[in-house]
Amino acid sequence: MSKMNMIQALNSAMDNMMERDANVLAFGEDAGYFGGVFRVTAGLQEKYGLDRCFDAPINEAAIVAMAIGMAANGLKPVAEIQFSDYIFPGFDQIVSELSRLRYRTAGTFTAPVVIRTPSGGGIRGGQTHSMSPEAFFTHIPGIQVVMPSNPYDAKGLLIAAIESPDPVIFFEPKRLYNGPFDGGAGKALEAWGKHPKGEVPEDHYTLPIGKADVVREGSAMTIVTYGTLVHVALAAAEQSGIDAEIIDLRTLIPYDIETIAASVNKTGRCIVAQEAPRTSGFGAELAAQIQEDCFFALEAPIKRVTGWDTPYPHAHEWSYFPGPKRFINAMREVLEA
Amino acid sequence: MSKMNMIQALNSAMDNMMERDANVLAFGEDAGYFGGVFRVTAGLQEKYGLDRCFDAPINEAAIVAMAIGMAANGLKPVAEIQFSDYIFPGFDQIVSELSRLRYRTAGTFTAPVVIRTPSGGGIRGGQTHSMSPEAFFTHIPGIQVVMPSNPYDAKGLLIAAIESPDPVIFFEPKRLYNGPFDGGAGKALEAWGKHPKGEVPEDHYTLPIGKADVVREGSAMTIVTYGTLVHVALAAAEQSGIDAEIIDLRTLIPYDIETIAASVNKTGRCIVAQEAPRTSGFGAELAAQIQEDCFFALEAPIKRVTGWDTPYPHAHEWSYFPGPKRFINAMREVLEA
Amino acid sequence: MAHTDPRFHVPAPHVRPGDTPDFSHIEIPPAGTARRPDVSIAGSETLDLALGLVRVLDHNHQAVGEWDPKLEPEIMREGLRHMVLTRVYDERMQKLQRQGKMSFYMKSMGEEAVAVAAAMALEKTDMVFPSYRQQGILFARGRDIVDMMCHCISNSRDNLKGRQLPVHYTWAEGDFFSISGNLTTQFPQAVGYAMACQFKGESRITASWIGDGSSAEGDFHGALVLASTYRAPVILNIVNNQWAISTFQGMAAGASETFALKGIGYGLASLRIDGNDFLAVYAATKWAAERARAGHGATVIESYTYRADAHSTSDDPSGYRPKGEADAWPLGDPVERLKNHLIGLGEWDEERHAALEKELDQLVIASYKEAETFGTLHDGPLSPVQTMFEDVYAEPDWRLRRQRRDLGV
Amino acid sequence: MAHTDPRFHVPAPHVRPGDTPDFSHIEIPPAGTARRPDVSIAGSETLDLALGLVRVLDHNHQAVGEWDPKLEPEIMREGLRHMVLTRVYDERMQKLQRQGKMSFYMKSMGEEAVAVAAAMALEKTDMVFPSYRQQGILFARGRDIVDMMCHCISNSRDNLKGRQLPVHYTWAEGDFFSISGNLTTQFPQAVGYAMACQFKGESRITASWIGDGSSAEGDFHGALVLASTYRAPVILNIVNNQWAISTFQGMAAGASETFALKGIGYGLASLRIDGNDFLAVYAATKWAAERARAGHGATVIESYTYRADAHSTSDDPSGYRPKGEADAWPLGDPVERLKNHLIGLGEWDEERHAALEKELDQLVIASYKEAETFGTLHDGPLSPVQTMFEDVYAEPDWRLRRQRRDLGV
Ligand SMILES: Cc1ncc(C[n+]2csc(CCOP(=O)(O)OP(=O)(O)O)c2C)c(N)n1
Ligand SMILES: Cc1ncc(C[n+]2csc(CCOP(=O)(O)OP(=O)(O)O)c2C)c(N)n1
Ligand SMILES: [Mg+2]
Ligand SMILES: [Mg+2]
């Protein structure tokens, strides 16, 4: 066990897997010599060689395509897209190719690629360094979508993703890289060192893809969320004194409907939360499915706590980011409905 | 008034607008000399000249980018993407550029581009000529999304789209180009000529973006859908004898929440339907918002009738396509819940 | 209304329907004049080859010049057979499509040499990433015709379980990658695959094919950047058959003289070759394969050819190009040219050719009869309907399990 | 564990941190040797210029050869002023960023000539599509410095209402298009804009700038295809400053000798120029602009230069390149070179230069004081918070109206 922040935990996952499996490769823009702009692949080129961890030209489509070709030939590529805002040049390769290779070849070719990419706001990155584009990927059959909320989960899930026979888009909430974050403007940085989930084994371990984590038990309502907002939801429960049960999805596709439904059937009230723009965000899928599966248990409409239907603004970041106050407002509404 | 199929109606819209406004341009792969693989731009090059209607290189990103540049300089480009399955190479230009130009320039530059693209299945097109990717576009702030279900609406909405100050992704359900379609395998082609919405004025007219159409009044439940499935829903109501109210959204973004909510508050039961894969489809957004806005009127869970979470198969097209039988099953469930 | 002078330049072909086919603007250098450098040459030194046209068979059907691969007659007869089979098969399948036996079909008529000669010049285990007009590779690699047909009619023996459009073959056993319906996407994938070959210490290389029109896609650039940067053992083929559905090659070429020239900008060895010349395609592919295997990196090959029939069964070219263009094509027909070369060598004759055509036609007819015993798209049996839910993931998750149950299968 | 010999080729720079800066592998042709063809030359005829290096200022700081634009001293002094202002402004803003006055900053140190000389060679109404390292254009076009700063500190007078990161300027009045944070996306947009200029009968042209690293993106290819096919009046600049964050230019260049060479593959006129030579940039831009306005189409210009400081305030180059590389850069510093040229002409001296620097520094300091009176990111006032919901669409729909209400603003 070591204290690790999320970057170190992810780096440790890569290190374990590159050590264990000589076919695991890591590449991306600035991911080689320099070790990535967020340093997740730091030290790997030196340790494993130029052909195991290397820089890529700035062409996200080509990065994904190269990974597909390598994976089809038996390697295990872990490609980094520098910011998830920049994944869209590679979107066609993901939608039309990566996701469908197994299907359209009836299983004779597969491309178990992992695409790691930092996402989400809260770092004053403006519209092109703050997006939470996960919902787009949840609408692509054949793709798994994972987003951890802490170092321990990050490592276990990244290893599981690399070991998965199917492609995974692995979102890293960059606001959490260096510490848990539950606030808004002016919130000082806390360290992962003090957080129980900052205790991370140095050795290989996995967390199952598709399994959510009930991070807070409660009876008043269920809050289903993932990534940065897990911490905000926890803070909101704390600050409001509302006894919410909080589910950290960890995996968006396939999401853990069993855990969710069990909780909502118990509490009778539900909030789904995402940092992304509201319309057609992943919260919509959750709300749609929860109302279908738990309709007769629901005592109030499911509320969505979300970013707004605007690009991510720079100066007004903290009016955009769904902080504890927005959570608490919604929690009250759900209780009072 | 003339009898027109949907292709003719769209062509007439283009013709009217190119006649009226010398800045309206039409282009796309095979859209110039040949008039488009579905013939929507037929005759326009001959009538308006090589620089008003022209072929484009096969690069969907460049097509969208060219349109953005032209629109920023005051032209009104109507770009065709040959099949909506092929829009993804241009996805980055749409998400990162087209949708945000007004916002990030605080209104000093705008790009009121229209992107027309045939979508949906039912033509034995297999996985790469059958997609219904509209949900992706509904998650992009700054983009309007339109999908007509008949020739009359198609013309009025395309003209409105061209006249709109904001970018529009205009989906044309290709299964409806030559006639209404409410069935599955073996269904003979009906002609638009016999359909009231096949009566189309030759002159300019518009239908408002953002306004749904109640195509069937009813009391037992509300079915909210768009495109090809409007006809399937109508057939299902007919065949089942269930008195459903059917809403043809026509515009997905912004969707007409008022009309929807009024209907669901009246009927107390609701189905949302899309041809696209189920998870995170546009039906999810509809269900999420409807349960929030109409919770206390709802007597049963909102059901989703959708395509499956698989790529669009070729041979099993009719087991994938949500035909009347799947609608009727869901309608019974919603009634009996 | 129409401005007669467009206000910006929009390229247009020399002739349109109603005009007389005319290729007089095309310069065809004589066969045998292109030099054949050592395979270790720097890419930048191949400019003349990117602008020229590697040709082996001259107008007398004789093999001339440095690029003559000096093939045994036996090999050429085999090549001829594969090309004739490709053509006969295409012809028959198109007819069957017209009879409603399959949803769609795409012929490769006029371009058979591009696929067949390349496949024969490669090792059988070199992974190929074709587009939809290289079915010739399958014949050259000996794929079972009945299997091919079962795919095209999506029946119970379709190895792709009815999931793909006809012609979009996959044949893993034959190192034939899945054909995507999306243009150019596989070009950069082929580079990644090739890098993995090197990584694993395999001597295999990869080859991919796209069309003139497809070269305009962003993935084209991505592929060439990757190939250039990582010096990957891949052959990147651009099949310039003059047309992209209704759009002539000039819409993608713009002001550039050849498609091969693009490769020079990436420092890649680049050749423009006579795509209707079996021997030129063979020789160029061999050269590029040798170069790749020796670690000198990728080669871009533009095969100059002509799409002699419609784009697909959904297309009618009389709407955009003059009738008879194929006959006017100055580089002739690849089957005829190889046939005449063999005849000139005394290694073939018209009777044997007629017999070959007949034999292969009968083979194709018999194969189709057999294929139909496994079902047709229209009447079934198809792959069992529950297979629709398989292979989305290695294991279906709860969503697919529920959905399968919802469908009641 | 590590293989010492990588199994596939991964390019690497000649030196790394700890090594001595070394540019001895770079060949620098003498100034004045490149020919200056007529602007009507066919793109394909410019191969020598794509492989060469257009240079005007020689090592004695004298202007030599056909490309000498023979500028009036007044114009050169103006250029010098804009370059010094760019540098002084960058320096100050970076300091302010370090003090927490803004979230982020990006300098253009070492590359000032690329932006300033080009802007001066263009007409003021030519639309420019820059990337984030051409702030020099704004100074050359006379944008108000206070306005620029108000944008960077996102205050109540930010013309972009706090929506963009610092440095991502938009200035419609100055025909300066919005800078995207997404690389290369604007390259093809510039072509569309240029086509619209022609369509409207305007004599305006457009120019866009991307970096060496950005040239690897698919949109690069899209832009060149469009420009080539439609013969658009656009100048497509590749600023090869040797680095893309931590990645050296060879990762994008691969085996190709120059970035300008790529243009040749599209039949576009293509020049490689000394980007640290104000006169070369000016002359090349003038040439390309004249060519575009005369209807001969697009020009690709690679400006060979060096990113003398960090990528941005989020970056520390000591992690990936030797210290002192900027000083070792064989093409010198653009400000120094123009200054020395003017001094050589007797049109400038060290005292005036020192005075200019001081004057501009004071101007910048004073401007910042003024800018702060409109607020700062940290302390406000910002643009009113409800403006966050504006300009998504021309009119907010019900969703945005509800959301604004939910936020209580
Ligand atoms: C990404 C994408 N865009 C558009 C299409 C539609 N399409 C199919 S084939 C074709 C023309 C391709 O022409 P070319 O590359 O020259 O190949 P050819 O058909 O001549 O062999 C087009 C536009 C597609 N399949 N994929
Ligand atoms: C599409 C996209 N991918 C990645 C990035 C992240 N990024 C920002 S700048 C940069 C390097 C660009 O290098 P270059 O093009 O050489 O320009 P320079 O910074 O040297 O001026 C990268 C990778 C981005 N902004 N957009
Ligand atoms: Mg072609
Ligand atoms: Mg650079």
Q: What is the pLDDT tens value at each position of chain C, 409 positions in all?
A: 455 689 999 999 999 999 999 999 999 999 999 999 999 999 999 999 999 999 999 999 999 999 999 999 999 999 999 999 999 999 999 999 999 999 999 999 999 999 999 999 999 999 999 999 999 999 999 999 999 999 999 999 999 999 999 999 999 999 999 999 999 999 999 999 999 999 999 999 999 999 999 999 999 999 999 999 999 999 999 999 999 999 999 999 999 999 999 999 999 999 999 999 999 999 999 999 999 999 999 999 999 999 999 999 999 999 999 999 999 999 999 999 999 999 999 999 999 999 999 999 999 999 999 999 999 999 999 999 999 999 999 999 999 999 999 999 9
* Tens digits of residue pLDDT in A76-123: 999 999 999 999 999 999 999 999 999 999 999 999 999 999 999 999
Cβ atoms B39, B7 nearer than 8 A: yes
Within a 13 Å sphere around the CA of A330, how many CA atoms are in the beta-carbon half? 30
Q: Tell me the catalytic residues of B.
A: 129
Å between B82 CA and nearest CA of chain A: 15
* Tens digits of residue pLDDT in D333-342: 999 999 999 9
Residue D373 neighbours by CB under 8 Å, 6+ apart? none
CA A14 – CA A162 distance, rounded (Å): 9
> What pLDDT does residue C4 have?
66
Helices D186-199, B60-72: crossing angle, 10 deg rounding: 50
* Tens digits of residue pLDDT in B193-231: 999 999 999 999 999 999 999 999 999 999 999 999 999
Q: Does the pTM exceed 0.95? A: yes
> What pLDDT does residue C1 have?
46
Q: Is the peptide bond before B254 cis (omega within 30 degrees of 0)?
A: yes
Cβ atoms C299, C268 nearer than 8 A: yes
Point out the ligand 2 atom lying closest to the alpha carbon of residue D182. 26
Nearest ligand atom owner, CA of C218: 1
Alpha helix segments (H runs only) across D245-311: 250-253, 260-264, 278-293
Chains that touch B (3 or more CB pairs under 8 A): A, C, D
Nearest CB among D3, D251, D389 relative to A49 is that of: D3
pLDDT band at D4 (very low <50, low <70, confident <90, very high): low
Which helix (H) or strand (E) element contains residue A258? helix A257-267
CA C152 – CA C166 distance, rounded (Å): 4
**Nearest chain B residue (CA) to C378:** B315
> Cβ–Cβ contacts within 10 Å for residue A202, how many?
12
CA C368 – CA C375 distance, rounded (Å): 11
> What pLDDT does residue C3 have?
52
Instruction: Write down the mean pLDDT value for chain D.
Output: 97
Distance C213 CA to ligand 1 centre (A): 6
- On whether any CB of chain A is under 8 Å from the CB of D408, the answer is no
Please provide the CATH number assigned to the domain covering A2-176. Answer: 3.40.50.970
Nearest ligand atom owner, CA of D183: 2
CA B13 – CA B3 distance, rounded (Å): 14
> What pLDDT does residue B337 have?
85
pLDDT over threshold 70, residue D205: yes
CB contact under 8 A, A62 and C222: yes
* Chain C contact set for D265 (CB, 8 A): 256, 261-265
Cβ atoms C335, C115 nearer than 8 A: no
CA D184 – CA D238 distance, rounded (Å): 10
Please tell me what DSSP assigns to residue C177. P
- On whether any CB of chain C is under 8 Å from the CB of B56, the answer is yes
Q: If contacts are CB pairs under 8 Å, which of residues 93-122 in chain C contact chain B?
A: 103-104
* Tens digits of residue pLDDT in D246-294: 999 999 999 999 999 999 999 999 999 999 999 999 999 999 999 999 9
**Nearest chain B residue (CA) to C103:** B124
**Nearest chain B residue (CA) to A253:** B279
Nearest ligand atom owner, CA of D184: 2
- On whether any CB of chain A is under 8 Å from the CB of C176, the answer is no
Q: Residue C274: name the closest of C88, C84, C94, C34 by CA.
A: C34
The CATH 3.40.50.970 portion of chain A extends over 2-176
CA C144 – CA C138 distance, rounded (Å): 8
What tokens does A138 get?
């949840």
Distance C237 CA to ligand 2 centre (A): 30
The CATH 3.40.50.920 portion of chain B extends over 210-336
* Chain C contact set for D218 (CB, 8 A): 217-219, 221-222
> Kind of pairing, strands B221-225 and A53-55?
unpaired
Please tell me what DSSP assigns to residue D202. -
Taking the CA atoms of residue D77, residue D81, residue D87 and residue D92 in that order, the dihedral angle to the nearest 10 degrees is 160
Nearest CB among D232, D264, D265 relative to C8 is that of: D232
Q: Is the peptide bond before B112 cis (omega within 30 degrees of 0)?
A: no
Q: What residues are in contact with ligand 1 under a 6 Å CB criterion?
A: B 29, 58, 82, 86, 89; C 133, 181-183, 210-214, 239, 241, 243-245, 307, 311
* Chain A contact set for D161 (CB, 8 A): 315
DSSP per-residue codes, D343-398: HHTTS--HHHHHHHHHHHHHHHHHHHHHHHTT-BTTTB--S-GGGGGSSSSSS--H
Nearest CB among B56, B62, B126 relative to C165 is that of: B126
Residue minimizing CA distance to atom 12 of ligand 2? D244
Q: What angle do CA A10, A58, D310 make, to 5 degrees?
A: 80
Chains that touch D (3 or more CB pairs under 8 A): A, B, C
CA B154 to chain centre: 9
Cβ atoms B57, C250 nearer than 8 A: no
Pick from D137, D184, D185, D214 the residue to mutate for probing ligand 2's pocket: most ligand atoms within 8 Å of its CB: D214
Ranges under pLDDT 70 in chain A: none
Residue B290 neighbours by CB under 8 Å, 6+ apart? B224, B260, B261, B264, B270, B272, B298, B302
Instruction: Name the region of C238 (left: φ>0; alpha: ψ -120 to 50; beta: rest).
Output: beta
Distance C286 CA to ligand 3 centre (A): 23
Helices C112-121, C334-344: crossing angle, 10 deg rounding: 60
CA D198 – CA B54 distance, rounded (Å): 15
Of how many residues is chain D composed? 409
Residue range B280-293: mean pLDDT, rounded: 98
What tokens does C12 get?
């247009």
Residue C226 neighbours by CB under 8 Å, 6+ apart? A57, A59, A62, A65, A66, C188, C191, C192, C195, C232
- On whether any CB of chain C is under 8 Å from the CB of D294, the answer is no
> Kind of pairing, strands A244-248 and A213-216?
antiparallel
Taking the CA atoms of residue B224, residue B227, residue B229 and residue B234 in that order, the dihedral angle to the nearest 10 degrees is 70
pLDDT over threshold 60, residue D3: no
* Tens digits of residue pLDDT in B239-257: 999 999 999 999 999 999 9
Within a 13 Å sphere around the CA of D256, how many CA atoms are in the beta-carbon half? 30
Instruction: Write down the mean pLDDT value for chain B.
Output: 98
Query: Under DSSP, is residue C78 helix (H, G, I), strand (E, B) or coil?
Result: helix
CA B206 – CA B201 distance, rounded (Å): 11
CA A11 to chain centre: 16
Q: Any idea which fold B210-336 has?
A: Rossmann fold (3.40.50)
Pick from C167, C183, C208, C243 the residue to mutate for probing ligand 1's pocket: most ligand atoms within 8 Å of its CB: C183
Please report the domains of chain C, with CATH numbers, ordered by start residue. Answer: 43-307+322-378 (3.40.50.970), 385-409 (no CATH)
> What pLDDT does residue A185 have?
86
CB contact under 8 A, D163 and A56: no
* Chain D contact set for B90 (CB, 8 A): none
User: To which residue do tokens 């004025």 refer?
Assistant: B201
pLDDT over threshold 60, residue D59: yes
What tokens does D370 get?
């003024």
Å between A194 CA and nearest CA of chain B: 37
> What pLDDT does residue D1 have?
46
Point out the ligand 2 atom lying closest to the alpha carbon of residue D211. 15
Q: Residue B314: name the closest of C151, A138, D282, C301 by CA.
A: C151
Cβ atoms A208, A153 nearer than 8 A: no
CA A311 – CA D400 distance, rounded (Å): 12
CB contact under 8 A, B72 and D159: no
* Type of residue at C90: D
Alpha helix segments (H runs only) across C243-322: 250-253, 260-264, 278-293
Contacts of D139-142 with CB under 8 Å at 24 or more apart are D139/D82, D139/D85, D139/D86, D139/D89, D140/D79, D140/D82, D140/D115, D140/D116, D141/D171, D141/D174, D141/D175, D141/D176, D142/D174
